[in-house]
Amino acid sequence: MSAPDEQICTLISPLDMHIHFREGAMLRTVAPLSARDFAGGVIMPNLVPPVDNLERLLRYRAEIEAAISGMGFTPYMTLFFRAYSEAELRAVRPHIIGVKLYPAGVTTHSEAGVQNIRDAEPTLEIMEDLGIPLLVHGETSGFVLDREREFLPIYAHLARRFPRLTIVMEHITTREAVALLDEYPNLYATITLHHLQITLDDVAGGLLQPHLFCKPIAKRPEDRAALLRAALAPHPKVMFGSDSAPHPVSAKEAAACAAGVFSAPVALPLLVEIFAQHDALDRLQAFISDNAQRIYGVTPPHKKVILQRKPWTVPQRYGDVTPYYAGRTVEWQVVQTML
């Protein structure tokens, strides 16, 4: 929601439905930046070792809560997909928002992911029965620009095979993925900030921009346009998920550049800027919170976040991480949060 004054935007309990917090010192650097602006977020489990059992999950949640104590932020935890028994999933169900499936090797720390989607079906049957959502990094190992598109028939198969299973297509990047939302009632999606703004040309059209390199990689202008239309509407089955993924500078500015865009510090201000540019500020509340609450059935902490049209320059570093928009001017900033 926004106030009548066009220079102010007020949001209630904004949510980031896809975040990477890492562990240790990195977590202590980045987690407060999300907790400052958001009321909750879905935390990814692709750590080393992965978060794939109840003990590991509870330890990780405790580490997160220690880093963001008193900030009015709920970490919605996820479990790394593997073959689980019904007893394991029943035990962990009260502590998670879903289970995250990575095809093996498609992104950072996904080597232990699923080799064959058919092998996952026994666990998916249990998840469907227990009402546990499935979150998916939907890419194949094919040609990089085609990976998401090639995965769409797998989404369609899963949606038909498990009609009572909530399936979230994470960080979609193609117009075909947007269209698929309307074909199956149990398919939903998250959309990132950076995929609303950049194309592959921004990543590699001139000098290579390592801090814009991510997986799935940014696509064509027509794909970006489809994502933007879905977010601005907003489509009732899409929600914001930053996929904010911090890496130290040494891992990004390297021959083997790590995939990930660290957008947490600028996510909310830039989303307000985008929606304001399209005269759609009154629709941002649904994209940033209301849709996610309805899709997942969650009630986050009440948190009023007030942004003002007041330019600021994004720092070059947060700790040892270069943020999205580093050194650039953002037109809006968070000026007050009230719990």
pLDDT value of residue 296: 98
pLDDT value of residue 107: 72
pLDDT value of residue 113: 73
pLDDT value of residue 289: 98
pLDDT value of residue 6: 66
Dist CA 132 CA 155 (whole Å): 17
Structure tokens at 136: 């998916």
pLDDT value of residue 4: 43
Segments in the chain below pLDDT 70: 1-6, 105, 109-110, 112
Q: What fold is seen in the domain 8-338?
A: TIM Barrel (3.20.20)
Neighbours of 201 (CB within 10 A): 11
pLDDT value of residue 109: 67
pLDDT value of residue 234: 97
pLDDT value of residue 104: 79
Tokens 């309990």 sit at which residue?
A: 13
pLDDT value of residue 3: 42
Q: Please, is 145 exposed, middle or buried when counting C-beta atoms within 10 Å of its C-beta (0-12, 13-18, 19+)? A: middle
pLDDT value of residue 267: 98
As annotated, the active-site residues are 243
Annotated domain spans of the chain: 8-338
pTM above 0.85? yes
pLDDT value of residue 74: 98
